[in-house]
Structure 1
Amino acid sequence: MRHWTATIAHIQLLIGITLYFQSPVIKYFLKNFNEARQSFDLIFFGLIHSTLMLIAIVVLTIGSALAKRKARDTEKFKTLLVWYVIALLIIFIAIPWPFSPLANRPYFR
């Protein structure tokens, strides 16, 4: 499960990076950076969201690598629990929820 979780997270990261550079919001953000800095929604999607998601994948990968090197199963599961929960919390912070103060975006448009 540890290996599959890390593999799926890395695949999701690659899909996200591909979609990131095809997004019209990001294209506008990159072309008009000085103007886009004034809008917090553009800052969220241009910098905060992508940075936090990348950090979450790094945390998940570190936790997976550390757990693999543990000798006992209880140590492995404890290590996975701590690192995966931290990564999950970072992911939840980076999601543009409709109730989030970081980015106000509805579920459906």
Structure 2
Amino acid sequence: MYSVLLVIHSAFRWLVLGSVLYGIYRGGRGYSRRVSFTRFDNSIRHTTATIAHIQLLIGYILYFNSPLVSYFRAHFTEARHQFDLLFFGLIHILLMTLAIVFITVGSSVSKRMDSDREKFKTMTIWFSLALVIILTAIPWPFSPLANRPYIRTF
């Protein structure tokens, strides 16, 4: 089951990135063009937060069942000096949790704004901050922090 969830988590990141990018696009477009915050914009806001929460849930399940993380926690003093272990044992989970908090705050605060322009602005700012964190914390194949393939396979 662990390996199946790892593949799903790896592939699902593209859905998270796509939805966050599209949310930023819709927010920036709506803010700059001064258009109404439609039901479609609201569904993008909500769907982006939902997709991010699903990814975080899968990530937490993986984290608490990962042999890599188990080793990191059991041998913290030695493992913290190995950056790959430090990345997955601490950095990745903290940054991704923070990014999802930003998406959640942006979605929640945006929903409660009075003006359409403020809704777009709030969504754009919070989603953009989350995107920067997400892009930093993903173990890209080219990353010096920790690297994994673009999509894992079985």
| TM-score, length of structure 1 as denominator length | 0.91
- Evaluate the alpha carbon distance shift between residue 18 and residue 63 of structure 1 in structure 2; reply closer, same or farther with a 3 A threshold: same
- Deviations for 1:17-61, whole angstroms, at most 9, x for unmatched residues? 001111111111111111101201110110000000000011111
CA distance in 2 between partners of 1:72 and 1:104 (Å): 43
Indicate the residue corresponding to 1:44 in structure 2: 87
Residue in structure 2 matched with residue 32 of structure 1 by the alignment: 75
Equivalent position of 2:103 in the other structure: 60
Unmatched tracts of structure 2, length 5 or more:
1-43
1:75 aligns with 2:118: yes
Q: Give the match for residue 7 of structure 1.
A: 50
Give the Cα separation in 2 of the matches to 1:106 and 1:3: 29
**Corresponding position of 1:16:** 59
Structure with the bigger RCO (C-alpha within 8 Å, sep 6+) is 2
CA deviation vs aligned residue, 1:60-82 (integer Å, no higher than 9, x gap): 11111111111121211111111
**2: CA distance between counterparts of 1:102 and 1:7?**
28
The AA in structure 1 aligned to 2:90 is L
Q: CA deviation at 1:4?
A: 1.7
Counterpart of 2:127 in structure 1 is 84
Runs of 4+ in structure 1 displaced over 6 angstroms?
none
Give the Å deviation of 1:5: 1.4
Give the match for residue 97 of structure 1. Answer: 140
CA distance in 1, matches of 2:110, 2:126: 9
Give the share of equivalent positions with the same residue, in percent: 63
Q: Say what the alpha-carbon RMSD is for the aligned residues.
A: 1.6
Structure 1 pair 88–35 and aligned structure 2 pair: CA distance change class (3 A):
same
TM-score (norm 2): 0.66
Structure 1 residue 106: Cα displacement: 4.5
